Structure 1
Amino acid sequence: MTGTAAPARFQLFPLQVVRAARITPHMARITLGGGGLTGFVNGGLDQRIKLLLPQPGQSEPLTPPGDGEFGWYRTWRGMDPAVRPVLRTYTVREQRHDPDEIDLDIVVHGEAGGPGSRWALTAAPGDRVIVCGPAVEEAGGVEFRLPAGADWVLLAADEAALPAVAAILAELPAGLPVRVFAEVEEPGEEAYLAGPADRPGLGVTWLYRSKGAPTLPEAVRAAELPAGEPYAWIAGEAASVRELRRHLVGERGTDRRAVCFMGYWRAGRTEDQRADDGPQDEED
């Protein structure tokens, strides 16, 4: 008897920029659509995707050929870095239908920022990109898994992970207490969580690097947190995330199974460089 191959969990979706807008001084919202989203299945919460961007001088990113679900990625790693697509990971902030669209919120740092930031600054309707995203239910790329017995939720993130924080807040039960610690470059980014901030039981602490505020781990270490069993979701710069996880597990006695942690970026290394380095172990 011949079996039927399971559908690929992830696929490459050729898309176009539909709209681009600055929603805070350091956050741009890029809306993608253009008919290529058929079959895209957003898992919600902190669903991540890979965005393939064209190199300067290219009208669209080259599509890395390859067999199998991630054959394109092996091909991409072997391509000349001067011509292969720029690869970045982002959170799906929202998905809509009729027409099919997804929003990606991207941190921008001016011309001093990286390729993803520079692209977001100049993105215009019609610009072509490729998204590697989920094509079936429960495909993967969603790390936030709220345990049934959690009494409250801790969300600790820098600006790179704020889109995931906003998407998570939009789906949490309304009565569940939530503490958010958000580390950003400077004041002015608070509007990004203005909508979710209206929910009852939510406390948000903003930390500003340019004003000499405590770091993310320092702020959580000094905070008086709610009683009961927490579920912690931590994302941002890898070293900061590891330090905060050690504090929660080692100093506060949080069950390590109730701490979800992701290094969204690594100081001094771009995503392309990390991919060329091979797999990185973010565990202690």
Structure 2
Amino acid sequence: MTASQPTAPTAPTATATATADAPYHFFDLRVLRTERVSPSMLRVVLGGEDLAGMGSAGRDQRIKLFFPHPGQDAPVVPRSEDGQWYAAWCALDPGVRGIMRTYTTRDLLRDPDALVVDFALHPGAEGPASRWATAARPGDKLCVLAPVGAENGGYDFRPPPGTRSYVLAGDESALPALAGILASLPPEATARVWIEVQDPADRQHLATEAAAEITWVVRDPAAPFVDAFRAADLPDPATAPYAWIAGESATVRALRRNLVQDRGYDRKSVRFSGYWRPGTTEDQLLTTGQAA
């Protein structure tokens, strides 16, 4: 998940403490296979003996991936699972501790168990996560911090009961979450979806039972994604739509302003998340307290 310089999606919280409903555990996983989904998206399928204990809410379920440094066989992570893992991770030597990045679960499969994670790639702006994914081979080791139950604090898509109208928007870094959200919508729902991608071939089939109208926008500096969204015909705020926006931070803020200030959407019904910021890594965001 990169832009003009190495970047990373932001963390859900600085501490990512466990919830009473579902604590988070470290899972030692290995690469089973990789697949190039599109020019800008690489899929990594992971397996492990204890993967049966991992949970997911689907939708935009966040997990933390820990990558090894060059020369390490596996990432070094603290084994504290009492909500204090972050402090223990910070106490480790940065040159030794696992490189942490936040990603969205693309899928959690059963029979057999497998965790699917999609990596957005941008040539010329690779960060440690995309470099690892590009070089990944079967057997390579990875550690994942993830919930052990479906109900947990690691997802944001929480529409009020009875919601039938949705507005969804994001870039390629949000594609895994958008796929999970669309898959969760009931048949009676309607959704207007706007997705910005790097290449026309990055368009994906996103399965859903809802009546979804998906607009793909290929990135073009001469025709910004924000302008295309502002010109879109979106549901009337009187119909109480629920909006979810994620991707590059400045773009996300601009889309939220358009919905709340220009269109009159209820700010409480607009969920937004800056997954990444140009030139800023997750380590830097956490250090400055700006990860959210």
Query: Shared topology, TM-score over 0.5?
Result: yes
Q: Spell out, residue by residue over 1:139-184, the C-alpha distance to the aligned partner (whole angstroms, 9 max, x if none).
A: 2111101223434111100110111001111110123111111111
Structure 2 equivalent of residue 208 of structure 1:
218
- Distance in 2 separating the partners of 1:12 and 1:85: 12
Identity of aligned residues (%): 47
Between 149-158 and 84-93, report the one with greater CA deviation. Answer: 149-158
Q: What displacement does 1:36 show? A: 2.6
Moved >6 Å (runs of 4+): none
Deviation at residue 65 of structure 1 after TM alignment: 4.2
Are residues 240 and 211 of structure 1, via their aligned partners in 2, closer, same or farther at CA, if it must alter by over 3 Å?
closer
* Of 169-178 and 51-60, the range deviating more from structure 2: 169-178
Name the count of aligned residue pairs.
271
Q: Verify: 1:154 aligned to 2:164, yes or no.
A: no
Aligned match of 2:5: none
Check 1:245–1:269 CA distance in 2 against 1; reply closer, same or farther (3 A cut): same
Does the 8 A contact of 1:110 with 1:118 survive in 2? no
Letter in 2 for 1:219: A
Unaligned runs of 5+ in 1: 1-5
Task: Report if aligned partners of 2:31, 2:46 keep a CA contact under 8 Å in 1.
Answer: yes
Say which structure, 1 or 2, has more relative contact order (CA 8 Å, 6+ apart).
2
Q: CA deviation at 1:118?
A: 0.9
Question: Scaled by the length of structure 2, what TM-score is found?
Answer: 0.86
Q: What do residues 34-56 of structure 1 show as CA deviations (whole Å, max 9, x unaligned)?
A: 21313211111111100001011
Q: 1:151/1:98 Cα in 2 relative to 1: closer, same or farther (>3 Å)?
A: closer
Residue 102 of structure 1 is matched in structure 2 by 115
Equivalences for residues 170-185 of structure 1 within 5 A: 170-185=183-198
Instruction: Give me the TM-score of the superposition, normalised by structure 1.
Output: 0.89
Per-residue CA deviation, residues 12-64 of structure 1 (Å, 9 max, x unaligned), is 11111111111111111111112131321111111110000101111110122
Shift of 1:195: 4.1
Mind listing any 5+ residue stretches in structure 2 that lack a counterpart? Answer: 1-19
Quote the Cα distance in structure 2 between the aligned partners of 1:224 and 1:111. Answer: 35
Deviation at 1:106, TM superposition (A): 0.9
Contact persistence 1:157–1:183 (CA under 8 A): yes
One of 219, 231, 245 as aligned partner of 2:228: 219
Q: Secondary structure of the residue that 2:55 maps to in structure 1?
A: coil
| Partner residue, 2:13 | none
The match for 2:134 is 121
Counterparts of 1:139 and 1:151 in 2: how far apart (Å)?
23
Instruction: Mark the CA change 1:220 to 1:149 in structure 2 (over 3 Å): closer, same or farther.
Output: farther
Instruction: Between 271-280 and 111-120, report the one with greater CA deviation.
Output: 271-280
Maintained 8 Å contact 1:21/1:29? yes
Aligned residue in 2 for 1:50: 64
Please, what is the CA RMSD of the aligned residues?
1.9
1:1-284, aligned counterparts within 5 Å?
A: 9-66=23-80, 68-110=81-123, 112-190=125-203, 192=204, 194-196=205-207, 201-210=211-220, 212-215=222-225, 217-227=226-236, 228-280=239-291
SS at match of 1:38: helix
Q: Structure 2: how far apart are the matches of 1:183 and 1:60?
A: 34
Query: Within 2, Cα distance between the matches of 1:72 and 1:200?
Result: 39
Q: Which amino acid aligns with 1:80?
A: D
C-alpha distance 158-70 of structure 1, shift in aligned 2 (>3 A): same
1:43-99 Cα distance to aligned partner (Å, 9 max, x none):
111111000010111111012244x53322112223222222111111111111122
